[in-house]
Amino acid sequence: MQSRGRSFGTADLLVRWERTAGAPRVGLTVSKKVGNAVVRNRVKRWLREAVRREPLFWSAGATVVFIARASAAAAGYRGLGAQVRYVAGRIGPSGGGR
């Protein structure tokens, strides 16, 4: 996916994605740059929940990988949720995919 997919960034996330024919897949990467284990796990929970609540991901037919930037923990659940909604709209079935 690294060489074939597309990528773009938001304030706290780097997103890599590509269209696929199969079922949609989502991956999360939260490195030690984000914080200690407690903080990283909290960010992963926030991202998982935001993706779960976004129906566009489940109809998109894409593989999407979210890479949290160091500032992701400071964004909070609402901030990351808004960024996930933006990503879903951008790569969703009618989002154009630019």
Domains by residue range for the chain, with CATH:
6-91 (3.30.230.10)
Q: Which two tokens stand for residue 51?
A: 């993706």
Q: Which two tokens stand for residue 17?
A: 């994605």
pLDDT at 65: 94
* Rounded CA separation 62/41 (Å): 25
pLDDT beneath 50, residues of the chain: 98
pLDDT at 93: 65
Which residues, other chains included, contact 52 with Cβ-Cβ below 8 Å and sequence gap of 6+? none
Q: Checking DSSP bridges between strand 25-29 and strand 13-19, what pairing results, if any?
A: unpaired
* Rounded CA separation 85/67 (Å): 15
Which residues, other chains included, contact 53 with Cβ-Cβ below 8 Å and sequence gap of 6+? 81
pLDDT at 22: 81
pLDDT at 5: 78
* Rounded CA separation 32/37 (Å): 8
